[in-house]
Amino acid sequence: THPNLAITPAFLTRLELDATERLIEAITDRRSALFRPPYFGDADPSTNDELLPVSVANDLGYITAGLKVDSDDWLETSAAQIIANVLVARDDGNVVLLHDSGGDRSATVAAVGPLIDSLQARGDTLVLLSTLLGLTRDQAMPPLPVESATSRGVTLAAFFAVGAVQNTLYWIFLVAVVLGAARIVALLTLASLHRARTGRRKAITLDFAPAVSVIVPAYNEATVIEKTIRSLLAQQYTGPLEVVIVDDGSPDFTGDIARATFRQHDRVAVFSKANGGKASALNYGMQRATGDIVICLDADTVFETGTIAALVQPMRDPRIGAVAGNAKVGNRLNLITRWQALEYVTSQNVDRRAFDLLNCITVVPGAVGAWRRSAILNVGGFSHDTLAEDQDATIALRKAGWRIAYAEHAVAWTEAPDTFASLAKQRFRWSFGTLQCAWKHRDALLRRKFGTLGMIALPNTWLFQLLFAALSPLADLIFVLSVCSVGTAYMQHGSTFAWQAGIKLASMYTVFLLMDWTAAMIAFVLEPGEDRRLTWLILSQRFAYRQVMYWVVVRSFVAAAKGGLVGWGTLERKGTVAFIDR
């Protein structure tokens, strides 16, 4: 790697010599007895430090070749200047240094012929370095024994593999950066157009009020079920409204608490059934619901008073089969939940705004979503064969020809995991469920008959939510290796080179962070009333939170490859959702 061996630790010097020797042997079938240290000063030692690499090379059996005549061709000057440099310095020594790599060497190649003619015209004789040393060619570069052919092949394959991995990582990183940047620009542009089209909240007409049934599937929700139901009963909705609580076999008396608390409310119906999972609970409630529009929400979610009215408005269009609401983190208690609040605004809601324009929303969130009851029943209800029943049902509706809308003013405040362990558990379920849905509906991928779902939404899911997320640890690995390379540059070249490398690395990463922060600010501008101070968490989110997200995606692929069953799991509810009703 062309280090300055005068300042390089001895172990790195030996590593450089051994690696270079192995590569020469693998390619030429000969070993080299000669060694010329990089940098002119090392090749003609004048200090004790410069003698160290010569000592290491001597211990390894090399003959160090010094020089005095430097052509300075590494400066990429003209052929004429290279010739002049050599002719001026020729009286100081008899070994001339030319370079065959490390930059554009066309001038060096052009100078070789005229330089030889010029030296010979001055009476110089040109010989091999081995001849100057009194060695034969085979002594200077001894051929390897025949039996070493296999090891040579292995060595050469190893070097090619290392090079291939480096090149592959580089191109993956480059393609990911370009596509990722293009995606961000496209999504933010579409989201901004969506915001301009929908206008401000005060311009929304809330005169569409069909019969609505709200289904709340509940399992071990004793700490939050009362707050959730009260937020539903407080809705400023003028149409018929019923609340259907489905206790899915909770051992913590969730159903009993709901019955005892709301026994006098004729709009609240509480049912209990054997545990069968969220999809089972939703289908159970769907069969008992009477409203034309069914709204589903998780039991840890609290609606603003105008959420239901805003959520059903897009349903006035008979082509719309489901509406996604605006989910927000309601328990911003620590750094982990604040990171999620940032993610909900900058990722999930921006995506839904953009995809609403393209009619390719793939997830009506379980926290806040409205479904046309006849439509969801016609596609078979909520399926049991994925962990993302809301995404599965959304894609099924879209494939059946229904449109999916986004209601930005239908705000729901949900309880997010507040520890890394619970966050990883939740996101693994989301990621694995997304993988299941993408695979289940692969028949629509890149199929024109499914419109933007097949040509945009599903490719986006496969490429950005799954594949790039699984490969994202490579980007972090490249960053770590880049930081290590700065340290290596310091050991091999000194502080000047290390400083230059460090500045370049810091500049590139700063650009990435500024892009992230700018995108986040635009996303928050699109969300009136959001706390824009959260955008300053972008830096810490990149160095901690995103690694958890990468890990769960990789884990999802591993689980899918193993083919084992993955359960829904349970998350501890703490009843910490707090919000200001706007």
The pLDDT tens digits for 246-259 are 999 999 989 999 99
pLDDT greater than 80 at residue 43:
no
Q: Is the pTM of this model over 0.75?
A: yes
Position 489 confidence tier, pLDDT thresholds 50, 70, 90: confident
pLDDT greater than 90 at residue 216:
yes
Report which listed range, 140-154, 239-253, 554-568, is most confident: 239-253
For residue 215, give the nearest of 117, 138, 284 by alpha carbon: 284
Token pair recorded at residue 214: 């709200």
pLDDT greater than 90 at residue 580:
no
Alpha carbons 466 and 447: distance in angstroms, whole number: 19
Higher pLDDT, 568 or 321: 321
Arithmetic mean of pLDDT, 140-159 = 87
Arithmetic mean of pLDDT, 143-167 = 88
What pLDDT shows up at residue 193?
Answer: 93
The percent of residues above 90 in pLDDT, for the chain, comes to 60
Alpha carbons 282 and 392: distance in angstroms, whole number: 13
Q: What is the mean pLDDT of the chain?
A: 89
In Å, what is the CA distance from 58 to each residue of 11, 18, 22, 54, 133?
14, 13, 17, 6, 16
pLDDT greater than 80 at residue 25:
yes
pLDDT digits (tens, 9 = 90+) for 448-460: 999 999 999 999 9
Alpha carbons 194 and 202: distance in angstroms, whole number: 16
Kindly give, in sequence order, each residue whose CB lies less than 8 Å from that of residue 316, ignoring residues fewer than 6 positions away: 208
Token pair recorded at residue 355: 């995809």
What pLDDT shows up at residue 378?
Answer: 96
Kindly give, in sequence order, each residue whose CB lies less than 8 Å from that of residue 567, ignoring residues fewer than 6 positions away: none
In Å, what is the CA distance from 478 to each residue of 169, 494, 497, 504?
8, 22, 19, 14
pLDDT greater than 50 at residue 535:
yes
| Cβ atoms < 10 Å from Cβ of 473 | 15
What pLDDT shows up at residue 566?
Answer: 58
In Å, what is the CA distance from 395 to each residue of 23, 382, 387, 401, 461?
54, 11, 14, 10, 12
Q: Which residues pair with 246 in a beta bridge?
A: 217, 271
Alpha helices in 90-122 (DSSP H): 106-121
What pLDDT shows up at residue 10?
Answer: 85
3-state class (DSSP) for residue 403: strand
How far is residue 38 CA from its own chain's centroid?
A: 39
Report which listed range, 92-96, 207-211, 510-514, is most confident: 207-211
Torsions phi, psi for 220 (to 5 deg)? 55, 50
Token pair recorded at residue 79: 């052929």
Lowest average pLDDT, out of 176-185, 333-342, 541-550, goes to 541-550
What pLDDT shows up at residue 510?
Answer: 86
Alpha carbons 257 and 230: distance in angstroms, whole number: 13
Position 48 confidence tier, pLDDT thresholds 50, 70, 90: confident
Arithmetic mean of pLDDT, 162-175 = 86
For residue 577, give the nearest of 343, 300, 215, 218 by alpha carbon: 300
Q: Please compute Rg for the chain using Cα positions.
A: 34
Hey, what amino acid is at 495? Answer: S
What pLDDT shows up at residue 256?
Answer: 94
Kindly give, in sequence order, each residue whose CB lies less than 8 Å from that of residue 359, ignoring residues fewer than 6 positions away: 398, 403, 404, 451, 452, 453
Hey, what amino acid is at 4? Answer: N
Contact 335, 537 (CB under 8 A): yes
Q: How close are the terminal C-alpha atoms of the chain, in Å?
A: 62
What pLDDT shows up at residue 203?
Answer: 54
Arithmetic mean of pLDDT, 124-138 = 90
Residue with tokens 């953009």: 354
Alpha carbons 386 and 409: distance in angstroms, whole number: 29
How far is residue 283 CA from its own chain's centroid?
A: 35
Alpha carbons 284 and 248: distance in angstroms, whole number: 10
What pLDDT shows up at residue 201?
Answer: 47
For residue 405, give the nearest of 297, 322, 317, 316 by alpha carbon: 322
Residue with tokens 């001026």: 88
